[in-house]
Each structure stands twice: as structure tokens, then as C-alpha cells.
Chains A and B, each alone.
Chain A
Amino acid sequence: EVQLLESGGALIQAGGSLRLSCAASGFTFNNYPMSWVRQAPGKGLEWVSYISETGHDTYYADSVKGRFTVSRDNSKNTLDLQMNSLGAEDTALYYCARDWGTGSYYFDYWGQGTLVTVSS
């Protein structure tokens, strides 16, 4: 069974940094690209970042480019999101999601999410 478990969410002051993690199990992690998708309170879904199977290719939404960094450790089956210079607009539930295939951006499995609250 595919499982994705996010952690690291917290209440943090504006301007601060936070690192989210996602632990993957139930599939061959290094065969799949991964993404982060977020959902602001009461709002819809917003794709945030993508990382290829090897970690060599990364992409970001314009709203986070230059502030967020995605990485993965295929030896530990973990996905991370380093978030810097956080603002109130980054308050959201952050999901990690498995991409169906290279560059597909179709997300076939999702985690439960971890909540990031940025106070101004």
C-alpha cells in the first residue's frame, strides 16, 4: 500500500524558515517524481514544486521560486521542502504527492498533509 506521511508543519513568524518532510513507503520511491501541493485555508489547491526521480530536475511555482527548495533522499525514501522567507500567503496545508510518471504532473497518491501557519 502506497503511503505518504508529511511532517514538519508548525506555527512560525513571518520571515522565518521551515522544513517539511514526507516519508514514502509501499512503492519504489526512486522510480517516481514527486510534488508538493498546498491548500490555503478555505481555498483550492495550488501546485508548489516538482522533483524528478533522481532529484536532478526541480521546478517551482512562481509564488515560491527563490524561497523554497525541494530535495529528496532516495536512500531514505524521503522528500523535503525547505521554505525560507515565509509570509502570510504561505499559510496552508502542504501535501506531498506522487507523480504518476516523469513530467506528468498527474498525482496518483497523496499524503494527509501538514499544516503551516505563518503569523505576521
Chain B
Amino acid sequence: DIQMTQSPSSLSASVGDRVTITCRASQGIRNWLAWYQQKPERALKSLIYATSNLQSDVPSRFSGSGSGTDFTLTISSLQPEDFATYYCQQYQTYPPTFGGGTKVEIK
């Protein structure tokens, strides 16, 4: 199975900060990478698919980039509603696998 490694596992940031989360795949996945947001009330929300495509209704402050094995999720200006845990997921190779998550906390 492809291993997905996220870093950092947690970070503290302030409203308005630029935040970058990294995801590394154990082998190349082309651009078949998604990002999800999970808030404490358990709901999961899809943010980005195919590395850089925003799901409808996702604010433009979210962006994704990368290819092959290294990917990033960037929040250009952190908003109060963005404090959550973020997961990457590869869907290039069966079975689909997720990163361990990055918790974004309020500084």
C-alpha cells in the first residue's frame, strides 16, 4: 500500500496567517491527491481533488499544488472557521490511503 505522510502533525496559527501543510507519498501518485477537512463535530468535507481542483463551495483561500510524491495544501489567510484537522488521500493506486492528519489550532 502507498503510505501517505503529512507534516506537521499539528500547528498553531493566528487568524490571517498563511498556513502550509505538506503531504508525501511513498511512491509516485501523479496528481491523484485529495484534501479533506474534519471539524470536531465529526463532519468531513472534501476540499480539493486532483491536487489542485477546488470542490464547489470551497473558498479560494484554499489551494493545492504538487505532483509525483510531494504535495501541499495552502490556506492563504486563515479564518476562524478553518481551525480543523486536514487529511490528504491518494487515489492513484488501490487501496486508497490517507495521511495521518494535520491539526490546525488557534495560537
Q: Which residues of A contact B (CB under 8 A)?
A: 44-47, 59, 61, 93, 95, 97, 100, 104-110, 112-113
How far, in Å, is A19 (CB) from chain B's closest CB? Answer: 21
How far, in Å, is B63 (CB) from chain A's closest CB? Answer: 18
A-B contacts besides A44-B87, A44-B99, A97-B44, 4 pairs, CB < 8 Å: A46-B98, A59-B94, A106-B89, A113-B42
Query: Taking A45-B87, A45-B98, A47-B95 as contacts, is the C-beta distance between A108 and B43 under 8 angstroms?
Result: no
Task: Provide a sorted-by-A list of 18 A–B residue pairs whose CB atoms are within 8 angstroms.
Answer: A44-B87, A44-B98, A44-B99, A44-B101, A45-B36, A47-B95, A47-B96, A47-B98, A105-B91, A105-B94, A105-B96, A106-B89, A107-B34, A107-B36, A110-B45, A110-B46, A112-B41, A112-B42
Q: Which residues of B contact A (CB under 8 A)?
A: 32, 34, 36, 41-46, 49-50, 55, 87, 89, 91, 94-101
Residue pair A47, B97 in contact (C-beta under 8 Å)? yes
* CA of A61 to CA of B43, assembled, Å: 23
Residue pair B43, A106 in contact (C-beta under 8 Å)? no
Residue pair A95, B44 in contact (C-beta under 8 Å)? yes
Q: Is the interface of A mostly helix, strand, loop or mixed?
A: strand
* CA of A55 to CA of B44, assembled, Å: 25
* CA of A38 to CA of B49, assembled, Å: 20
How far, in Å, is A7 (CB) from chain B's closest CB? Answer: 14
* CA of A44 to CA of B46, assembled, Å: 15
How far, in Å, is A104 (CB) from chain B's closest CB? Answer: 6
Query: Taking A95-B44, A100-B49, A112-B43 as contacts, is the C-beta distance between A106 and B91 under 8 angstroms?
Result: yes
* CA of A106 to CA of B55, assembled, Å: 12
